[in-house]
Chain A
Amino acid sequence: MTAAAFTAFAPFTLLGAVTIAVMLLMAIHRSHHLIARSTIIGLLLCCIALPLAAPASPTEVTPLFAVDGTALFYSGLVLGSALIVAILSYAYLEGSPQGPREEYYLLLLTATLGAALLPASVHFASFFLDLETLSISLLGLIAYTNPRGNAAEAGIKYLVLGGASSAFLLFGMALIYADLGTMSFIRIGQLAHADGAADLYCLVGVAMILTGVGFKLSLVPFHMWTPDIYEGAPAPITGFVAVVSKIAVFAVILRYFILAEGPADASLRTGIAAIAILSMLGGNLLALLQDNVKRLLAYSSIAHLGYLLVAFLAAGSLGIEAAAYYLAAYAVTSLGAFGIVALLSAPGPGRDADRIEDYRGLFRTRPFLAGSLALMLLSLAGIPPTMGFIGKFYLIISGVGAGLFWPVAALVAGSVIGLYYYLRVLVAMAMPVPAEHKAAPPEAAPFFGNAVIAVLLMLLLALGVYPAPAIALIRMTVGATPW
């Protein structure tokens, strides 16, 4: 490894060091405050290290990783999101009466480590190892609030289905390796296109990889696990599953397709388009039936990943930029939404505030959180002046520019359906306060919880009204990546 490689890889090395330091600290002194704060500070340091590593990029770090603009941008999104999840978790677990709370942060850090490295992976080995680091840590996090039955259920479901999806992924990788004799994305791209049409081994291999990734991204028809796990997991972890793991997996699969598949096979593109359309329509239609806000957001996230596939199909520079902006918008919005659910809930044997009735009259009892949630929901629905609006606009530009008629039509139809259930939550918040809640006004959310929501809200509005700086950043990092 060269010096440049060390510099470029420094944020990831630092994250690994933070993980070990937190583990050692836990052995010395068990304290929720101490562990949570050192986790937050550690993640913050990693975020600060990213721009410092930028001058050394693009560079290859061993054959396994490439630290370039794309990797830095998506890792930045992952680390920033993980930081916010850590702060929200601190607020969430602070109210928890019993049980060890410190290991939670350790798992959070290892999951983040896997997720942050995924966008930099350029090799099947690193792809798979990072993905497993992420998934196995998540397993523990999902089942963390163990007094609740449904958390354990969600954990088991994630274990079984996640295992199955990993098996698909591995089998697909193995087929491609058997055919081409290499695991590096770039070499695969060179070899696969050397002899014209892709052969059956490669095609089946890619299809299996897509299946495995489809599970992780919860695309229809691989989405069955999503609502149960979103509902069962503690609210901050739901945000982590919805945002961090999705961003990381999307980034690596985007890189794989650009490097290894190039102008992908026509049948493959048709298949992806079908998955996109099914996800957009299926996610939105199923969300209509939900009375639970977490399940509703789960189905809505299925639809949002479907929207993202439009940019994926469009590829080209516009599609790549659109995907990057949309993921940033999705991260801010979803973290905000799940963060508010987390701030309204408390851990322990009870349940999170996740039924629509829990939100009745929120505009009166918790005006700040209700107003923020309203804007987050409007952003998810793609209404100005929010990031979600610009993001959706960007996606439609990329889709129209690539001439993707059916996916764009499904995007429009899905957005219209989506409005209905987002507005349902808004309406519930505007309704009068139910009588039984009037007696005891809810206690205020912790200050730093509100502060995180305020920061997200400011980002949401500022980049929704004036997105030029964000687009410039995306062009500077993702757009400047030599593929």
Chain B
Amino acid sequence: MSLLWLLLVPAVGGVLAWMAGARHPAWPRWIALFVLAVELLIALSLIGPAMSSGQTAWIASLDRSWIPQLGISFELDLDGLSLVLILLTIALSLVSVVISWTEITDRVGLFHANLLWTTTGVIGVFLALDLFLFFFFWELMLVPMYFLIALWGHEHRFYAAIKFFIFTQGSGLVMLVAILVLVFVHQQTTGHFTFDYLALLGTRMSPTTAFWLMLGFFLAFAVKLPAVPFHTWLPDAHTEAPTAGSVLLAGILLKTGAYGLLRFVVPLFPGAAHAFAPVAMALGVIGILYAALLAFGQNDMKRLVAYSSVSHMGFVLLGVFAWNTLALQGVVVQMLAHGISTGALFILVGALQERIHTRDMRLMGGLWGSIPHLSAFGMVFAIASLGLPGLGNFIGEFLILLGSFRASVPFTVIAAGGLVAGAAYALLMVQRAFHGRASPRPGAAKPVDLTAPHLAVMGGLVLAIIGLGLYPQPVFDQVAPGLAVLQHNGAPVLLAAGTR
């Protein structure tokens, strides 16, 4: 039942925030904060051991009749993987509310409503285990995100928002067709017309069918992840979105792509996924290096962070298709660490833009002298992003490389080069923005440093990234049963990959 509350609380909270916005601009902020705090408490109360029973490892589940005529039920299930990602979602939504406190002054109610609805959709994606319900939430989360970009974004927001929407919706429809073909194939072999994930696991089909269906799912998730060459929507969307939008996009929406690969692509089509693994890993490696190279060449700080995000998600793709325990643990930590570090970097870029009204690094330089706190945090997260040991990203990238080494040595060797490239762009960013000589900005007042709410948020994020870097074991413990079940279902890949 608490799973239903996880969805209802932010959905209803969004409506309340919208209505309250008409009365006073401060109310939606407090409502959103309160709602998310309640949500966080509900999610924290779910932390605990999974009820392991053979094929499943659910911490909690809920199954209600929804559209019985079409074999669709309202089925929510929570395992360790979902829980960890949901906690990340709620935490980053809270952060988004705090950092929008001064940035968003226009239509505050609607803004917070959209923020909470995005959260609802994403949590739904992480919980739904009926394929139709999953698709429902998958589409649902796009709409409020679209509005966040289109209404509160920067100069080219409409272009970026429409591009984002068309990319994700188009690939989503391909996935819908793949879902339906899978359901019909299942009906032909068993006589049951159902969208239930657990029933559809292990559906027998010819390798060709499996391959095309797998590709249909993969396309949707690869666009969302994003994997090169489907990444072109991301730099635009990130750059034009308001800070909170960027945090949500990078921190959570991208994770739904990785989650989909883990939960659906490999377990539903183990054979096909294995056959496809070399291609997917190659895409991952290309993504790591190519996006790092692009990040290196950017003058716009936000675009740099956006491309670094693509590069980091390349590691996730590599790890998912290596499909062994080490790599999968690495993928989970990488997702969390990326959510925290990239989110933090977007917040800092947003704060910087609020202060000096530019994101162009050619116009920055020497900021450490005038805004030391912001600059210091910028450096911490830049080196987190490049994978310094002791910080979360290192654990993720290291484990992914360790795992993929077993699956494929050449890909691992090339991917490791991405760490060097990461160091190059991250340090260059610190160098150009915060060090060096201050570039003259005639007529501009001296920028003010981070205020108390921002400092608190950044402090929390620093603690989280250090905690994840020094003691990631609780996360491993929480996700282990869920990952074991996934690995069991995607078994052929494991066997084949292990023998290589």
Interface of A with B (CB < 8 Å)? 378, 383-385, 389, 393-394, 396-397, 400-401, 408, 412, 415-416, 419-420, 423-424, 426-427, 430, 466-468, 471-472, 475
Contact of A430 among B70, B132, B151, B169 (CB under 8 A): B151
In contact, A400 and B166 (Cβ under 8 angstroms): no
19 A-B contacts, Cβ less than 8 Å apart?
A383-B143, A385-B136, A385-B140, A393-B132, A393-B176, A412-B174, A415-B169, A419-B166, A419-B169, A420-B166, A423-B146, A423-B162, A423-B165, A427-B158, A430-B151, A468-B65, A471-B69, A471-B70, A475-B69
In contact, B139 and A416 (Cβ under 8 angstroms): no
In contact, B162 and A396 (Cβ under 8 angstroms): no
Q: How far is the CA of A408 from the CA of B147 in the complex (A)?
A: 29
Given contacts A396-B177, A397-B180, 8 further A-B contacts (CB under 8 A): A385-B136, A389-B139, A400-B180, A412-B173, A419-B162, A427-B150, A427-B161, A471-B67
In contact, A466 and B166 (Cβ under 8 angstroms): no
Interface of B with A (CB < 8 Å)? 65-70, 132, 136, 139-140, 142-143, 146-147, 150-151, 158, 161-162, 165-166, 169-170, 173-174, 176-177, 180-181, 184
In contact, B67 and A468 (Cβ under 8 angstroms): yes
In contact, B162 and A427 (Cβ under 8 angstroms): yes
In contact, B150 and A383 (Cβ under 8 angstroms): no
Q: Residue on B with the closest CB to A423?
A: B162
In contact, B177 and A468 (Cβ under 8 angstroms): no
For the complex of A and B, list the 3 residue pairs with the smallest distance between their C-beta atoms, beginning with the closest: A416-B170, A400-B180, A412-B173
Q: Is the interface of A mostly helix, strand, loop or mixed?
A: helix
Question: B166 — which chain A residues lie within 8 A by C-beta?
Answer: 416, 419-420
B175 to chain A, nearest CB (A): 10
B23 to chain A, nearest CB (A): 14
Question: A383 — which chain B residues lie within 8 A by C-beta?
Answer: 139-140, 142-143, 169
B194 to chain A, nearest CB (A): 13
Q: How far is the CA of A466 from the CA of B70 in the complex (A)?
A: 12
Question: B173 — which chain A residues lie within 8 A by C-beta?
Answer: 412, 415-416
Question: A471 — which chain B residues lie within 8 A by C-beta?
Answer: 67, 69-70
Contact of A401 among B147, B161, B184 (CB under 8 A): B184
Q: How far is the CA of A287 from the CA of B180 in the complex (A)?
A: 29
A37 to chain B, nearest CB (A): 34
A266 to chain B, nearest CB (A): 22
In contact, B67 and A467 (Cβ under 8 angstroms): yes
Question: B143 — which chain A residues lie within 8 A by C-beta?
Answer: 378, 383
Question: B162 — which chain A residues lie within 8 A by C-beta?
Answer: 419-420, 423-424, 427
Question: B176 — which chain A residues lie within 8 A by C-beta?
Answer: 393, 396
In contact, B69 and A468 (Cβ under 8 angstroms): yes
Question: A427 — which chain B residues lie within 8 A by C-beta?
Answer: 150, 158, 161-162
A466 to chain B, nearest CB (A): 7
Question: B181 — which chain A residues lie within 8 A by C-beta?
Answer: 400
Q: How far is the CA of A424 from the CA of B146 in the complex (A)?
A: 12
Question: B150 — which chain A residues lie within 8 A by C-beta?
Answer: 426-427, 430
Q: Residue on B with the closest CB to A397?
A: B180
Q: How far is the CA of A472 from the CA of B173 in the complex (A)?
A: 26
Known: A420-B162, A430-B151. A400 touches B69 (CB 8 A): no
Q: How far is the CA of A468 from the CA of B68 in the complex (A)?
A: 7
Contact of A472 among B69, B147, B169, B184 (CB under 8 A): B69
Question: A408 — which chain B residues lie within 8 A by C-beta?
Answer: 177
Q: Residue on A with the closest CB to B132?
A: A393
